[in-house]
Amino acid sequence: MRDFEAATKSSMPLTLIATQDSIPVGMITLGERDFEGRPDLSPWLKSLYVHPFHRNKRIASLLIERLVHEASRLGCDTLYLTTEDAKYLYEKSGWQEIDRIRTPYGEAALMKKVLPPFAVD
C-alpha cells in the first residue's frame, strides 16, 4: 500500500485502467519488483487482468502497448514479466522468453522486452 500511496504519474508503481462506458474492464501495472526469484531484474509488467466479459477485444494488447509507452516515458529501457499461460499474447507484442521458472502458481515463462526510446511528440 505504501508503494501506491507514494506513486505519481512520474514514478512507479503505475497502474493503468481500461474502461468502457465509465466501467473498469481491465488493468495493468508497472512496478519495480514482481518475481522474488530475480531481484536483479526491474521494472516489471504485472497484474494484467481483463474481465472475462471483455476478453478478445484487444483490451489486453492495448493495455500492454500503453504500459510500454509509459515505461519508456519514465526512462525504462527493458521490461520483464512472468506468465504461466499467456506467453503467446506477449510474444505477439514483441516479448521474448528468456527463461523458464517456477512461481507459486506453477511453471512460467520469464519474458523481457527491450523498449524503444521515448519520443517526445
Residuewise pLDDT in 10s, the chain (121 residues): 445 455 555 678 999 999 999 999 999 999 999 999 999 999 999 999 999 999 999 999 999 999 999 999 999 999 999 999 999 999 998 999 999 999 999 999 999 999 988 777 6
Residue 87's CATH number? 3.40.630.30
Q: Is residue 121 part of a domain?
A: no
Helix (DSSP H) and strand (DSSP E) numbers for the chain: 3, 6
Q: Is residue 17 part of a domain?
A: yes
- Structural domain contains residue 98: yes
Q: Which domain holds residue 29?
A: 2-114
**Domain count for the chain:** 1
How many whole angstroms separate alpha carbon 100 and alpha carbon 97?
Answer: 8
Residue 75 included in any domain: yes
58 lies in a domain?
yes
Is 119 a domain residue? no
**pTM (2 d.p.):** 0.86
- Closest CA relative to residue 44, chosen from 85, 6, 74, 8: 74
Residue 120: inside a domain, yes or no?
no
What would the pLDDT profile of 23-40 be if each residue is shown by its tens digit? Answer: 999 999 999 999 999 999
